[in-house]
Structure formats: C-alpha cells, structure tokens
Amino acid sequence: MKKYLLFIFVAVALAFSPAQAGLESATYIADLVSSNPLGSDPKNQGDDHLRLLKSTLQATFPVANRAFNLTQAAEWSDTVAAETASRALVTADLGKILLVDPTSGAVTLTLPDPTVVLTGWGIVVKRSVTHANAVTIARFGAELLDGQAKNITLDIINDTVVLRTDGTDWFVWARSSFNESNLVLAGSANTYTLTTGRTLAAYYDGLEVSAEVNVLNTGASTLNVDTLGADAIEWPDAAAMAAGDLPLGAKATFRHDGTNWQLVTVTSPAKQIQNQTYIAFDDTGAADAYVITPIPAITAYVAYQSWEFKAANANTGASTMNVSALGTRNIFDNSTGAALTSGEILANGIYRLTDDGTQLLLMNSSAARIDVQTFTADGRRNGGNGLQTRWPRSLRRFVRRR
C-alpha cells in the first residue's frame, strides 16, 4: 500500500510541476533557443544540453579542423582602408578593400599565412594613384600565388586584384587592369616599341601588355616597352617569332617571363581576311615553274589547302608550283584532270590552286575551250544525247549550191 501511495504522489507532483520545455530540438546553431534551459528545468537535464551543443556545432562546422578568425566575415564591400606604407596583412584585414597610395614610397603588402585563415576568404587591393613608386603584393612564405612562386605588382592607377585562399595557397580570383585596347606598337618590323603610360620601373615576371601590331614581322622580333629594354618575343614554348607571326593589324598580348616576352595571344583582324592576306601571293618563279612564299609559311602540303597567286609568266606546257620551299608539285587542270597545256596560265593573270592531296589543281584555267560540232549530210547538226538540229532552209540551199 505504501509503494502504491508513493507512486501516486510522484505522478501528481510531476503533473503539477513547472513545464520542462527548456530542451529544444536543433540541428544547426541557428536552431538553438537562446532562452534555454529554463530556470525551472531539473539539473539532471544539463547533460542533454551539452550533447545538443556539441551536435549542432559539429553539424554547422563539419570540417573545422583548425582555428578560424571570423571577425571580418561580412566586410567584402563596406570596409575600405587606405594604405600608404608597407606592412604585413593580418587576418583582420581579410575581406577589406585596400586602396594603396605609393606617393610617399614603394608599398609592399605581405599576405597572411593561408594556413591560418578561413578557406575561401580573400582581400581586394587597388592602386589608387599614378606614381613611379611600385605597389607589390607579396606572398607570406613558400605558398604559391596563382599557381606560381611569385608576387604581384600593381603598375597603374586603378589596377585592382581580388585574392582568395584555399587554405594552402593564394589565387587571383579576379583582376582589372589598364585598358590598353587602343595602344599600337611602334618601331619597325621585328624591332617593336610600346609606350604604355604606366609607371613601370622594370620588367617583372607576369607583366602583361596588349597592343595592335603596326607592321608585319619578317622574322625573330623584340619588344621594348617604356624604354626599359628590347627583349626577345617568343612563343610560350620558347620558339622565336617566324615571319608572319605578328600580322599587321593583329591584336597581341605579351607576357614577360622575367627574361623574354611571351606572345600569349594574337588575333587577326577581319580586314586581313577581306584583303586575302593569308591566301593571295605574287609568283616569283619562272614560266612553267611557279613559286609562292605565303606568310606565315606552311610547314607541309595538306589536302584542300588553297592559294591564289598572280603569275609572273605564262606557261608553255606542263607546270609545277613550289609553296614555302617545300618542293614542287605538279599543276593539273581541274576540268580535265590532266597536266597543263600551253596558255592555261597567262602572265599577270590571277589563279587559284587547291591541293587534292597529290597535286595542285588549277581551278580557273585560261585555256580557250573550242566547242566542236558535227553535221549530217542533209545539214542537220548533231547535238548531245542523240538530238539533231536542222539548219535554216536558206542556209541549206546555200550549202547545196556550193
């Protein structure tokens, strides 16, 4: 009886005790209720709260295996700071927009250790004035900057770079530089110069310039930017420029590798296509042995290649063409499939050749085509496909009288 009465007492006490609603259900930190636990909650519920805190922290930060600095998390766009002297950036600078003024002296901003800042965070650095003093963004240590062991220099006003980290290295997330779309190279063929309007003190690895080519190159070439010295222009594989690699009017981008200029991109303008720059050439050979030298030169004969050429001499019979000194190829008449006969190429005539994989086909022979027709005894002209055409009566009478 006593045990039964005790059970009833406990049940009644629980029924009329203050609500124990201080333990919420949560998955992430945002789900937690800041007013819990309630003051009336029993002490033995404390371990439940501790377990809830641990589970929500681990769910919210599933890969948190090191220390993080969260003080500048929301400062990508509303925190702007002026920089006039060199210093080491700290985690509190992350997310800021730094406006660098090197008027008082060269400014070097050293990035923080990427292993101790939050993965994905970054910083914006912008050069705010024009001055001869340099602005440099330097690596913290041995980490890479945009895949290379190098620093970044901001050369001209408004040159801006956005840097972000993956927790190991730094990367250029975006960059806005001086608009050089209207610059044009100067100098002569193979010896180019360029005045940028920048404040370059010296060439450096990664320096880029863009300009329109002012004259077609004819061989190995150099570029002298802002009178800092003429360095060789090469392809990224270190091959020297060949004739025609820098076409007149092309838009070219050059990147310095610390020793030479690399031709990164070169685009040919529409006017070169309209002017047939790449397929129309003057013949420099002799009669029956024609020669053209395309720029840029071809390296092999390939089926379906085509050229137009202005012949220096008329042909007198079977003829050949030598393109880019690759050796002679026979020229056949495209309409007959046979070797040329005399008069199919006239001096100063313009002709089109197409490679069929074996020989070059002359697409527009100048040979006179004679239409030979036959007639029957009664004056009927034989036409194709068995058709016959009768002469007019007056002409038939004339022929019979003769």
For residue 229, tell me if it sits in a domain: yes
Q: Is the preceding omega at residue 392 within 30 degrees of 0, hence cis?
A: no
- Domain end call among 145, 176, 207: 176
Triad 265, 268, 273: Cα angle to 5°: 160
pLDDT confidence of residue 42: 80
- Domain end call among 156, 176, 196: 176
CATH number at residue 170: 2.60.120.640
pLDDT tens column, 365-384: 988 665 556 666 665 666 54
CA distance 300 to 325: 10
Residues 139 and 115 both lie in one domain:
yes
pLDDT tens column, 174-217: 877 655 557 899 999 999 999 987 767 788 887 888 899 999 89
For residue 234, tell me if it sits in a domain: yes
For residue 239, tell me if it sits in a domain: yes
Residues 298 and 319 both lie in one domain:
yes
Residues 210 and 157 both lie in one domain:
no
> Which residue shows structure tokens 């779309």?
181
Please name every residue paired with 126 in a beta bridge, in sequence order, or none if there are none: 99, 160
- Domain end call among 119, 145, 176: 176
CA distance 175 to 158: 10
Please name every residue paired with 224 in a beta bridge, in sequence order, or none if there are none: 193, 230
Residues 145 and 196 both lie in one domain:
no
For residue 256, tell me if it sits in a domain: yes
Residues 161 and 217 both lie in one domain:
no
Beta strands in 147-207 (DSSP E): 152-154, 160-165, 170-176, 186-188, 191-194
Tokens encoding 142: 């041995």
- Give which of 146, 326, 296 is closest to 216, Cα–Cα: 296
Residues 211 and 256 both lie in one domain:
yes
DSSP 8: H
For residue 245, tell me if it sits in a domain: yes
CA distance 106 to 102: 5
Q: How many Cβ atoms sit within 10 Å of the Cβ of residue 27?
A: 12
Task: Give every strand in the sheet of 319-323, ordered side by side.
Answer: 280-282, 306-310, 350-355, 360-362, 328-333, 319-323, 289-292
Burial of 313 (0-12, 13-18, 19+ CB in 10 A): middle
Residues 226 and 253 both lie in one domain:
yes
CA distance 338 to 31: 87
CA distance 206 to 128: 21
Residues 88 and 162 both lie in one domain:
yes
Query: DSSP 3-state assignment of 95?
Result: coil
Q: How many Cβ atoms sit within 10 Å of the Cβ of residue 193?
A: 16
For residue 367, tell me if it sits in a domain: no
> Which residue shows structure tokens 């050069």?
127
CA distance 224 to 244: 19
CA distance between the termini of the chain = 158
Residues 145 and 229 both lie in one domain:
no
CA distance 290 to 286: 6
Tokens encoding 233: 């222009």
For residue 388, tell me if it sits in a domain: no
Residues 157 and 195 both lie in one domain:
no
Domain count for the chain:
4
Please name every residue paired with 306 in a beta bridge, in sequence order, or none if there are none: 354
CA distance 260 to 238: 9
pLDDT confidence of residue 196: 84
pLDDT confidence of residue 220: 95
For residue 209, tell me if it sits in a domain: yes
Task: Give every strand in the sheet of 230-234, ordered side by side.
Answer: 186-188, 191-194, 221-225, 230-234, 261-267, 251-256, 208-212
> Which stretches in the chain have pLDDT values below 70?
1-22, 63, 65-78, 177-181, 199, 268-278, 368-402
Residues 146 and 201 both lie in one domain:
no
Range of the domain at 151: 80-176
CA distance 312 to 322: 14
- Give which of 45, 39, 43, 44 is closest to 23, Cα–Cα: 45
Residues 196 and 158 both lie in one domain:
no
